[in-house]
Amino acid sequence: MTTLVTSGTGKTGRRVADRLTALGLPVRIGSRSSAPPFDWADRSTWPAALDGVSAVYLAYYPDLAFPGAYDDIKAFTDLAVRNGVRRLVLLSGRGEPEAQASEVTVQESGAEWTIVRCSWFMQNFSEDFLLEPIREGVVALPAADVPEPFVDVDDIADVAVAALSQDGHVGKLYELTGPRLLTFARAAEELSQATGRKISFVRVTPEEYVAAAVTHGVPQAEAESLSAMFTEILDGRNANVSDGVQQALGRPARDFTDFARANAHVWKL
């Protein structure tokens, strides 16, 4: 059963692809540089990427909460099922109404489905737009002083691979979080402890965040959408933990402290 891993070079996608390959399962990487290429922004690339595919890991770039995401997921899901895809595993966002609309599309597609609904990734601190700011010693975000149950991307990948390669996860919606709640200020403290360097959290206005993100290379439109997500979704609606990792894998979710210690070398100058 060949699996197409969309956003196959991203944080979750590359981990899912590596794990499926390690299991000896055929994988097709869905990225602009793959052969055949796959690009969420170019629907003409979709049919070739789906040719001969039986399962799909649906990871939308940049995020299901972004404008146009629902229409893309709807069109892609319809095409996938028409082309013989039997199983869909959707990476979704916790507390995002737009993401939940895409979940319904997958659930009503007629394919075997699993929803992997996630909180904020721990790896956003180590592999994404916060990496350089943390190295510089300041995490500046337009986020309120509310806690978030940060989830490890490796846990997400393990759940997604189980859903893609096993039959016991069909029709399941897993909410994945870490085992405890942390504010961004507390997360910065834990990063400080792990690295032996002072890392501070500073709350900024949405406008200040967008300007700084663009300076660090984030496209303007993406920076504005990210800012909106911080101000709208990080409002306390996700300030609770779930046991989705335990349900899916029979083991507890990874804690932020363990993540920070394991990645301390990444943030050191």
Answer yes or no: is 83 within a domain: yes
The pLDDT value recorded for residue 221 is 85
Asked whether the predicted pLDDT for residue 216 surpasses 80, the reply is: no
Mean pLDDT along residues 221-238: 85
To the nearest whole number, what is the mean pLDDT of the chain? 95
Helical ranges in the chain per DSSP H: 11-22, 46-50, 69-82, 97-107, 131-136, 153-165, 184-195, 206-215, 220-233, 244-249, 256-262, 264-267
Answer yes or no: is 60 within a domain: yes
Answer yes or no: is 141 within a domain: no
Mean pLDDT along residues 223-232: 83
What's the domain range around 59?
A: 3-121+150-178+239-254
Answer yes or no: is 65 within a domain: yes
What pTM does this model have?
Answer: 0.95
CB 85 within 8 A of CB 113: no
Answer yes or no: is 225 within a domain: no
Asked whether the predicted pLDDT for residue 14 surpasses 90, the reply is: yes
Answer yes or no: is 66 within a domain: yes
Mean pLDDT along residues 1-21: 97
CATH number of the CATH domain containing 54: 3.40.50.720
- What's the pLDDT band for 40 if we cut at 50, 70, 90? very high
The pLDDT value recorded for residue 268 is 85
CB 11 within 8 A of CB 121: yes
pLDDT tens per residue, range 80-139: 999 999 999 999 999 999 999 999 999 999 999 999 999 999 999 999 878 988 999 999
DSSP string, 148-179: B--B-HHHHHHHHHHHHH-STTTTEEEEE--S
Number of H helices, E strands in the chain: 12, 8
Mean pLDDT along residues 63-76: 94
Answer yes or no: is 142 within a domain: no
- What's the pLDDT band for 234 if we cut at 50, 70, 90? confident
* Comparison of pLDDT for 233 and 137, the residue scoring more: 137
Mean pLDDT along residues 171-194: 97
Answer yes or no: is 215 within a domain: no
The domain tally of the chain equals 1
